[in-house]
Structure 1
Amino acid sequence: MATNKTNKLAFLSMPAPASYVAGLGRGASGFTTRSDIGPAREGPSAEVIAEAQARRGEEPDYDPDQFQDPDNEYGLFAGTTYEADDEEADKIYEQVDQNMDARRRIRREVRENLELAKHRAERPKIQQQFSDLKRGLSAVTDEEWENIPEVGNLTRKKRKRDERSFVVPDSVLVGDRSRGEYENALDARQQEAGGFETPAENGTLTNFVEMGQARDKILSLKLDQVSGTSTASGLATSVDPKGYLTSLDSVILKTDAEIGDIKRARMLFDSLVKSNPKHSPGWIAAARLEEHAGRMVAARKLINAGCEQCPKSEDVWLEASRLHNNDDAKVILANAVQHVGQSVKIWLAAADLEHDIKAKKRVLRKALEHIPNSVRLWKETVNLESSAADARIILQRAVEVIPLSVELWLALARLETPDKAQAVLNKARKAVPTSHEIWIAAGRLMEQQATLPERSEEERNKELDAVDTIIERGVRNLRQHQVLLTREQWLKEAEKCEEDGSPRTCEAIIKATVAMDVEEEDRLDTWTGDAEAAESRGRIGTARAILAYALRVFPDKRSLWRRAADLERTHGTRDSLVAILERAVHHVPQAEVLWLMWAKEKWLARDVPAAREVLEKAFVANPESEQIWLAAVKLEAENGELGVARELLVRARTVADTQRIWMKSAVFERQQGKLSTALETLEIALKKYPKFAKLYMIQGQIHQSQGKYAAARASFAAGIKQCPKDVTLWILSSRLEEADGKSIKARALLDKARLANPGSDLLWAEAIGVEERSGGAAQAKTVLSRGLQECPSSGLLWSMAIWQEPRPTRKSRSADALRKAADDPLIICTVARLFWNERKIEKARQWFERAVKINPDLGDVWAWWLKFERQHGTREHQEEVIKRCVAAEPHHGQIWQALAKDMENTGKSTRDVLELVAAELK
C-alpha cells in the first residue's frame, strides 16, 4: 500500500506529454494557461486538434477563405498554379450564379408578395381595419364630439363595493327613539310655580310679541329696498319694481362645468405666475379670470401683485387702473408714471380719468414734458383747446418739436389763413420732402382759394391751372427723392380728394399719374378698366377725369366717346352730356350714334330747331346714313310735320336706298291710314329686297287687317319660301290660320316650322298656345314636355311649365328650372311672381330687381314689376320702376312687342306702353 501510494505521487509529479490537452478525452476543447506554457510555450498544433476531433467523430472546421486565395490554397488543389484561365472560369461561374439567383429572386419576391398579401387579407392590422372610420372622423362636428358618452365599465364585471359597518352609539338610538314621541305630562317644576316658564340660564322670559314685531320690521325693510326707497339709509336704490323679475334673467348663473373650468384655470394661472413672476400677461390673465368669476377683490389683489412684479409693463398698470375705481385708478397711474414715464398709453389713461377739462389739459401738458416727441399727445392736447388761436399756438410748438410729423403740419395749415397756410406747407415740404400728402394739401389749398366768391373768372382759371402745376411738380420732386408711389396708390389718393370735395385736385392727380407704368399698347384697355372700377365704387369724378385724359390721348376712339357720353347721361347733367357729344362729333364725325344722341338730347329738351340743326350737320358728315335719315323722319313725324317726314323718306329712298328705309316708308304710310300706298311701297321694296322678311310680315298684316285672308296667306307663304329661317313669319302665318278658324292647319304649319328651325323655343311656345286656345290642356302638356326635351335651357318654356304645375309643386319645378337656366330673366321673373303669390314681398322685389339687371331690354319683366309695385309698393317704388324702365327703353317681350307695334298705340312713349302692358298682364 505504501508502494502504490508512492508510485501515485511520483506519477502526479511527472511532467505532462507534449501533446497532452487537459479534458480532451472527455469531449472538452483543450486550452492552455500562462502557467502551462510559460513565457514561450505554444499550445497544441492544428494537426493535434484535428486528430483529437477525428477520434471523437467530429468533422474538422474548414476555413472558407482558403479556397478564395490562390496564393494560399491548400487541400485538393494545393500547390497548383492559379492562371488567367482559372480566373476567367471563376468569373463565368460567378456570373451564372448571379443570373440564376436573379431569376429565382424575381419568382421568390412575387411569391413572397402574394403570401404577404394573403396574410394581410386574412389577418389585417387594426390600423387597416379602422382606416375608413378614421376618414369619417373628419366630418364629425363639434356638437357630435361633445355628445360622445363617457367610457364606462366595459369589463362587464361587477365591482366589489367596500362595505363597511360601524357601531351606532346608544345616544343616537335613544335620540331617534324619542324624536317622534309626544309629551303627555306637564313639567312638575312649572306646575309648582303656577305657570309655564321657559328655562334659561339668566332666568329671562321669551317675548313672542317683540319677535313678531322685529320680523315685520325686517320684512318691511326688504320691501322698501325692492320698491326703491330704503328707510334704513335714506337713499333711493336703483331697483326697478316692475322690471325686477325681468332683470333676474340677465343674472349669469355659472354651472358646475364652468366652475370646474374656472378652478382648473385658476390653478394653471397660479402656477404660471409663480413659475414666471415677471411675465405680465400671466398676471393680467389671472386677474381677468377672477373678474369673470365675480371675485373683484381677488382680481385687484392679483393685479396689484402683478404691478409689483412687473413695474415696467404698461399693460399691467392699465389693467390695474381698469379694475379699480376712479380714485384708486388715479393713484395707480401716478405710481405707473414713476416706473414707465415714457408710456403714452399711461398718460392718456390718466387724462381720461379726469372729468374736468382743465385737469385733462394739466395731465397732458405734464405728459408732454416727459414725452415731447409723441404726436398722439400733441393731437389730444390740441383737441382739448376750444379756440383756434390756442390750438394754433400749440401746433406751432408741436411742429418745432416734431418737424417730421406730416399730420401736425397739415393740422396747422388747416387752422391758418390761406396765405399763412401756404407758407406753412412750404416749410412742411422742406422739413419732410418725401411726403406726398403735403403736395396734395397744397393743391387742395389752391383749389379752395380758386372757389372763393371774390375771385374773378380769370383769377379762378389761373389758380385752377396752378393746381395741375403743383401736383405735377410734386410727383416730379417725389421721384427725385426716391418716393415711388404706384398707380393704384395715386388713384386712391385721387378718389380720396374727390370724396373730400376737391374734384380739381383729383383731376390733377389723374393727369400727372394715370399714365405711369402702363405699356403703350395696353393704355386704352387699362384706362377703360380704371374708369369702370372707379364708377363702380361711386367715384364719378375720378372716372370722368380718367376718361378725359384717355380722350386727349385717343381722340379718334368712338368707344371712348360713347363711354364718356354714357357716364354723363347716367351721372351728369344734360349740359355736360351735350358738351361731351359736341366734342365727340367734332373729333369723330362719322360716329352716327353720337350725332343721334346729341339730336335726341336736344329733342328731349324741347328744342326742336336745335335738333334739326344737329341732324343737318349729321347729314353733311354722313350723307348716306340710314340711321340719320330715319331719325330725321321720326323727329318730323313726332312733331306733326307729316309732309316733311314723307318728303324726307322719299329723299332717303333715293339717297340711301336701304331695305330698312323702304320698310319704314311702308310703316309710315300704314300709320297714316294709307294702306294702298303702303302696299304699293311694299311691292316695290319686295322686288328690290326679296329676302327681307319684315316686308312680307307688314304686307300680310295689312291684308289680314283688311279681312283678305287669302292675300295675307299668300304674302306669308311667299315670305316663308324666301325666308324659311325666320321664326316670326311662321308664327304670323299660324296665327292667321287660327284666326280663320283652321287650328289643324295652324298646327301643321308649326310642325313644318319646327322641322325647318329645330331648337326654336318660340315655335314650341306658339304650339303650346295653339293647344291651350283650342281647349286641349292635356295635349298642351305633352307638347310642352317635348319642347323641354328639345330646348332644355329655354326660359320661356320653363316658365310655362312652372305655371302649368299645381300650386304645391310649383316651387320644386322652379328649382329644376333654375338648375337648367339660372341666368334666364324669364325664369327669374317667374320665381319673383311665385314669391309674390306667397306674399313674400321683399323677396319678390329682390328677384324682380335681379331679372331686370340680367336683361333690361325685356319690357314684359318691367311690366310685371310695375304691376307688383302697384299692389304692394309705395308711390316712390312705382316711380322708381317707371323711371328705370324709361331709361332702359325696352323693345322686346311677347306682350310688349304686340302692344308697342299696334297701330292704335302709334307715337306713344315708353311710359305709356309700360302702363298698357302692365294693365294687360294677368
Structure 2
Amino acid sequence: MPAPASYVAGLGRGASGFTTRSDIGPAREGPSAEVIAEAQAKRGEEAEVDPDQFQDPDNEYGLFAGTTYEQDDEEADKIYDSVDQAMDARRRARREAQEQLELAKHRAERPKIQQQFADLKRGLSAVTDDEWENIPEVGNLTRKKRRRDERTFAVPDSIIVGDRSKNEYENSLDTRQQENGGFETPADSGTLTNFVEMGQARDRILSLKLDQISNTTTASSGTSTSVDPKGYLTSLDSVIIKSDAEIGDIKRARMLFDSLVKSNPKHGPGWIAAACLEEHAGRMVAARKLIKAGCEQCPKSEDVWLEAARLHNNEDAKIILANAVQHIGQSVKIWMTASDLEHDVKAKKRVLRKALEHIPNSVRLWKETVNLESSITDARVLLSRAVEVIPLSVELWLALARLETPEKAKAVLNKARKAVPTSHEIWIAAGRLLEQQADVVPEGAPPKTEEERNKALEVVDKTIEAGVRELRRHQVLLTREQWLKEAERCEAEGSPRTCEAIVKATVAMDIEEEDRLDTWVGDVESAESRGRVGTARAVLAYALKVFPDKKDMWRRAADLEKAHGTRESLDAILSTAVVYCPQSETLWLMAAKEKWLAGDVPAAREVLERAFVANPESEQIWLAAVKLEAENGELGVARELLVRARTVADTERIWMKSAVFERQQGQIEMALETVSTALVKFPKFAKLYMIQGQIHQSQKNYAAARASFAAGYKACPKETTLWILASRLEEADGKSIKARALLEKARLVNPASDVLWAEAVSVEERSGGAVQAKAMLARGLQDCPASGVLWSMAIWAEARPMRKARSVDALKKSKYDPVILCTVARLFWAERKIEKARQWFERAVTTDPDLGDSWAWWLKFERQHGTEEHREIVRSRCVTAEPHHSPIWQSVAKDVGNRGKSIKEILEIVADTLQ
C-alpha cells in the first residue's frame, strides 16, 4: 500500500526530506516543524528541548545576572572559597610529590646535554697547559662548505681564434685614399662620395648667403638689410620653438579668455590674462590690442592701466598713464609708475607735485617728493606742508624733526606729540634728541664736565618716564617685550642712554613680584645672545638696584663687563659689588685679580686686606694673598702668610698649599714634615698622600712612595687618582704585574670608572700587549658604554678605514662627549679636511672649555694649517676660558718646572707635548 503523505524515511534517526535527480517533478520541501513534532508524538518519542527557550529576553548572559549582590551572597562565596582551598590543601602534598617523581623520571630518561658532559667537564680541571696547547684544531666536518671538484673541459680552437680577432684594430690606411684627403665610398651606382668636398661646399654656400643679406649695400640693388652675419647663428639659439602640445594649449586658452572677455567685459583680470597669453605666444601686437580694449571696457581698473603701460614702450606708456589719471586720478600706483617712467629729476618732481594736487593725503607721495629734493631747505618746506596736510603721520613728523635744528626739532616734536598723542615713536625720538644735545658743546664754551653731562642725561630718563605715563593715560598699552625691542633698536642706532631710559621705565612692567629675578635674568641672556650688550647692561643695573644683595647678579654683571666692557667699568662693578656683598669671597677675589692683571699690585693687596677684614677665616682669600706675594717674588711674605693662615684658617687645603709651596722652593724636608703634620690632622684628605708619594718617588725612594700611596688608597678608596699613581709607581719600578693587580683592585672598589679602565688599557699598551689592550678596552666599554675617553681610545685602536664608522658609534653612545668631538676633529685633520676639522675643534671647546687638551690640539692644528690670526684667536680664547683639567694639561701645569707660567705659555708647552 502507498506511504502516508507525511512519511519521511528515517525520520526517527534524524533524517529530513530531500529530492534526488531521479525524482520526477519539482522538488518537495521537507516537513514543517509541527509535522515532525506530531509524528514524533505518535511514535512516543520526546521532542528536543531548545536550550534558549527559557532565556530571559532582557538578560542575554544569565537568568540571575540582574539580581543584587548582597552581603549574605558575599559571605556564602567566601565560605565556598575556603572549602575549595581546604580540599585543595589536603591533596596538595600528594600531588606535588607525584609531579616531582614524574619530573625526576623524565630527566633520568632524557637528560640535558650539559648534564651528560658534566663528568667530562670536571675532568678538564686536571688538564695541564701543555696538554691544552697540544689539542688539535677541529676541521670543517660539515658538507655545506665542502669544495666541489672542479671539472675542466677542452676549449675548441675556433673559439680562441674568434675571441682573438674580436678585439683587434686595423692600424693601416685604406689603399683607396685619394689625393685630396677623401675616402671612396661605394654606392649602388658605383660612384664615389667625397665628404670633404661636401663640407667645403656647404661652408662656401652659407658664407655667400650671409654676404648677400649682410648690412652692406650692393652695387646692383642698392638695398640694405639689418642681418648681422656674425651673430646670425647665435641669435637662432634664442628662438623658442613651441611643440604641438604647447600650441594646442595656447589655442584652447585663447578660446577660453575670448569667451571670458566677451561674457564679462567689465572684468579687468580677464583682459590682463588674455593679453599675457598673447605676450607669451609672441604676439605683442595682439596683446597690446587686447589690453587697449580692456582699458576702454574697464577704465576704473588700476591693474589694467598698469598692465597696458608695461606692454608698451616708454613713450606710449606715458600717454597711456596720462589717460589713466583722467579716469582714476586717486591711484597712487599709477602716479608712482608715471614718475618712474621719467628719467629727468625735474620731470619726476613735476609728475609727483601734480600727483599731490590730486592726492594730498598720500604719505608715500610726500616721501618720494621729499627724497627727490637735493636741498635740505626745500625738503624742510615740503615736510612742513606735509605735516599740515597729514597731521597724523608720525613718519613725516619724525622726518621733519631730523631736518630741523635741535631747538626747532623740540618744537616740532611737541607739535607732533599733541597731534598724535598715541605714538611712542615721538617720545623715543624726543629722548634721542635730548641725548644728542647732552654731548653738544656750544662754540667757545669749555667742554662739559661729567657731572654736567649726567645732569643733562637725566632729562632723557624723565622724558621717557613721562612718555610711558602719557601713553598709558591714552590707553596705549605696549607690552614689556615691545618696549625692550624699542630699547634694542635705540642701542643699534647709537642712542645707549635712551635705551637705558626705556629699560628703566618699562622693565618692571607686567611681572609678578616673585618672578622678577628670573624674568630679568632671562632678558639679560636673550639680549646678550643677540649682541645687545647695552640693553643687557641696563636690565642688570635695574635688577641690582632692586636686589643689591644677590651675589649671582653681581657676578653676572662682572662677567658681562669682562666680556664686553672696559677694565674701568669692570673695576667699578666689582668695587660696588664688594660693598653690597662683603661676604662673597668670589667677588673679592675677582676684584683683586683684576687689579693684579692691570699691573697694580698695591691695589690688589689693598683689596685683599679689606677682604681679610670682612672674611677673616676665608681659605680662598688667604691662598689668593699667598699666590699674589709668591708670583711677585715676595717668598718670605708668602711663607709667613701661610704660617698665619694655618693658625687662623686651619683647613686641609691650606696645609696642602703649604706643602706644595715648600716643594716648589726646593725645601723637600720641610714639605715632607708639613705633609706628615697635615696627615695627622686630616687623614682622609687624598691630595696629601699624593704629594707625599710623589716627593718620595722623585727621590727614587720607591718603598716610601709605595707606603704613602698604599696608606692613601686605604684611607680614601674612592679616590681613583691615588690608585693610578700607585699603579704608575709599580710600572716605573718595573713591576707591571703588580700595576695591573692594583688597577683590578681599584675597579672592584670603584666600579664603572672610565679613568681606571683607560689607565689599565694604557698599561697594556705600554707593556707591548696590543691584543690584551684591545680586550681590556672592550671590557671597559661594556662597563662604561658612554665614556668619551674609552671611545676615543677605541677609535684610535681601529685601522684607518674603520675609524670613521667607529667615530659615528662613539658620538651616538657618548652623547657628543667633548673628548669625542676633539677626536673627530683630529680625524678630519688626518684626512686634510681643514674647515671641517676647525669646526669640530670649535664644537669641542665650546662644549667643555675646561679641557686644556682640546685647546692644545686646536693650537697644534692651527700651527700646521692656520694663519697667525687663527693661532692668536685660539690663545686668547684659551686664556679667557682658563682650563684646569685634562691629563696632559694637568701634568704640565702642575710640574714644578712650570711654576709661575701663564696659561698661554702652558698652552704652548702642551701643544708641543701632544703626539
Question: TM-score normalised to the size of structure 2?
Answer: 0.75
Report the CA distance between 1:921 and its aligned residue: 1.1
Greater shift, 263-272 or 416-425, is seen at: 263-272
1:220 aligns with: 211
1:530 aligns with: 523
Letter in 2 for 1:920: T
Quick one: structure 1 residues 849 and 216, their matched pair in 2 at CA, closer, same or farther if it must change by over 3 Å? closer
Q: Does 1:380 align with 2:368?
A: yes
Q: Is the 8 A contact 2:822 2:840 kept in 1?
A: yes
What is the SS of the residue equivalent to 1:589? coil
Q: Is the 8 A contact 1:221 1:232 kept in 2?
A: no
Report the CA distance between 1:594 and its aligned residue: 0.8
Q: Does 1:631 align with 2:619?
A: no
Q: Does 1:395 align with 2:383?
A: yes
Letter in 2 for 1:584: A
Q: Does 1:273 align with 2:264?
A: no
Q: Does 1:589 align with 2:577?
A: no
Separation in 2, partners of 1:224, 1:733: 99
Separation in 1, partners of 2:825, 2:237: 43
Q: Residues 358-383 of structure 1, C-alpha deviation per residue, up to 9 Å, x if partnerless?
A: 00000000000000000000000000
Separation in 2, partners of 1:739, 1:824: 32
Q: Does 1:456 align with 2:444?
A: no
Quick one: structure 1 residues 579 and 266, their matched pair in 2 at CA, closer, same or farther if it must change by over 3 Å? farther
1:316 aligns with: 304
Q: Does 1:410 align with 2:398?
A: yes
Q: Residues 488-537 of structure 1, C-alpha deviation per residue, up to 9 Å, x if partnerless?
A: 10000000100110000000000100000000000000011001100000
1:82 aligns with: none
Report the CA distance between 1:338 and its aligned residue: 1.4
Pairing of 1:590-669 with structure 2 (within 5 A): 590-669=583-662
Pairing of 1:755-834 with structure 2 (within 5 A): 755-834=748-827
Q: Is the 8 A contact 2:214 2:225 kept in 1?
A: no
Q: Is the 8 A contact 1:788 1:798 kept in 2?
A: yes
Report the CA distance between 1:288 and its aligned residue: 3.1
Pairing of 1:405-804 with structure 2 (within 5 A): 405-454=393-442, 456-457=448-449, 458-804=451-797
Separation in 2, partners of 1:214, 1:560: 90
Quick one: structure 1 residues 877 and 302, their matched pair in 2 at CA, closer, same or farther if it must change by over 3 Å? farther
Q: Is the 8 A contact 2:561 2:570 kept in 1?
A: yes
Separation in 2, partners of 1:224, 1:645: 100
In the comparison of the two structures, how many residue pairs are matched? 717
Greater shift, 248-257 or 274-283, is seen at: 248-257
Separation in 2, partners of 1:847, 1:224: 65
User: Which of the residues 870, 874, 878 maps onto 2:867?
Assistant: 874
Letter in 2 for 1:219: L
Q: Is the 8 A contact 2:213 2:227 kept in 1?
A: no
What is the SS of the residue equivalent to 2:514? helix
Q: Residues 271-300 of structure 1, C-alpha deviation per residue, up to 9 Å, x if partnerless?
A: 443443333233333333433444333333
What is the SS of the residue equivalent to 2:421? coil
Separation in 2, partners of 1:593, 1:563: 12
Quick one: structure 1 residues 628 and 224, their matched pair in 2 at CA, closer, same or farther if it must change by over 3 Å? farther
Contiguous gaps of at least 5 residues in structure 2: 1-51, 64-187, 190-202, 217-221
1:354 aligns with: 342
Q: Is the 8 A contact 2:468 2:505 kept in 1?
A: yes
Separation in 2, partners of 1:300, 1:610: 86
Letter in 2 for 1:432: V
Report the CA distance between 1:222 and its aligned residue: 5.8
Letter in 2 for 1:487: R
Greater shift, 619-628 or 315-324, is seen at: 315-324
Report the CA distance between 1:837 and its aligned residue: 1.3
Q: Residues 855-893 of structure 1, C-alpha deviation per residue, up to 9 Å, x if partnerless?
A: 000000011111111111111111101110010000011
Contiguous gaps of at least 5 residues in structure 1: 1-95, 108-179, 182-211, 226-230
What is the SS of the residue equivalent to 1:657? coil
Report the CA distance between 1:839 and its aligned residue: 1.4
Q: Residues 322-377 of structure 1, C-alpha deviation per residue, up to 9 Å, x if partnerless?
A: 22211111111111111211111110010000000000000000000000000000
Separation in 1, partners of 2:352, 2:510: 47
Letter in 1 for 2:264: N
1:850 aligns with: 843
User: Which of the residues 898, 903, 910 maps onto 1:917?
Assistant: 910
Letter in 2 for 1:562: R
What is the SS of the residue equivalent to 1:278? coil
2:95 aligns with: none
2:279 aligns with: 291
Report the CA distance between 1:730 and its aligned residue: 0.5
Quick one: structure 1 residues 657 and 341, their matched pair in 2 at CA, closer, same or farther if it must change by over 3 Å? same
What is the SS of the residue equivalent to 1:883? helix
Q: Residues 756-803 of structure 1, C-alpha deviation per residue, up to 9 Å, x if partnerless?
A: 001100000000000000011011110111111111111111111111
Q: Does 1:897 align with 2:890?
A: yes
Letter in 2 for 1:792: P
Separation in 2, partners of 1:814, 1:680: 49
Q: Residues 534-557 of structure 1, C-alpha deviation per residue, up to 9 Å, x if partnerless?
A: 000000000000000000000000
Quick one: structure 1 residues 272 and 624, their matched pair in 2 at CA, closer, same or farther if it must change by over 3 Å? farther
Report the CA distance between 1:819 and its aligned residue: 1.2
Separation in 1, partners of 2:251, 2:846: 59
Q: Residues 445-503 of structure 1, C-alpha deviation per residue, up to 9 Å, x if partnerless?
A: 00000011346225422220000010000000000100000001000000010011000
User: Aligned-residue CA RMSD in angstroms?
Assistant: 2.6
Separation in 2, partners of 1:400, 1:375: 12
Q: Percent identity?
A: 76
Letter in 2 for 1:395: L
